[in-house]
Structure 1
């Protein structure tokens, strides 16, 4: 990565620009905190999950931090339930289903440019 990194900043959930994750519609709305546009290989952001049941195979290493609500992550190793202030570690290649009625999470992934690398 050859970009100059952006300066430090504070991003609050109420100021974040949430957009629907295209393939999941309003079940998942994302707001980026940092990523490749910031000159970093670390991607992070907020996600609002509403009546969500999303199947996915993780393409990067990921950490989720639940801010509000409850999230269930169904994996072949069992169901991981996380509530406020809980974290979930998901290594690259994990096949899963994210499930939540109404939750706000923070996600962090590495590498942020996983789609371009594929």
Structure 2
């Protein structure tokens, strides 16, 4: 797959879409990923009255831009406010909680959902 060209992605053009089965609680506006030929996936997320479980299948870092996010893992309860980050390594079972938060996320590998792990 060909790598896309460098670009600016304007906040005003961000389009949030429901995320998986938790679309009523989590919406994402992807910025880069497999469509760009990248191993890195990144974007903005909105969490609204959110409380759902997930097993992270990628390394993930979350930067809280607005609100507060709680990530409950097997070993800790991680609370992050504005400009704080949460680091979750692949394989972490987590419960995400947030009343109303805007986040930036980055994940690697971006192709984690591909059954064969091959981008394309």
Q: TM-score, normalised by structure 2?
A: 0.91
Partner of 2:7: 9
Cα deviation, residue 112, structure 1: 0.4
RMSD between superposed Cα atoms in Å = 1.2
Runs of 4+ aligned structure 1 residues displaced above 4 Å come to: none
- Describe the SS at the equivalent of 1:26: coil
Matches within 5 A, 1:1-118: 3-116=1-114, 117=116
Cα deviation, residue 14, structure 1: 3.1
* Structure 1 alignment gaps of length 5 or more: none
Determine the C-alpha separation between the residues in 1 that align with 2:12 and 2:88.
27
Cα deviation, residue 68, structure 1: 0.7
* Structure 2 alignment gaps of length 5 or more: none
- Describe the SS at the equivalent of 1:114: coil
Instruction: State how many pairs are aligned.
Output: 116
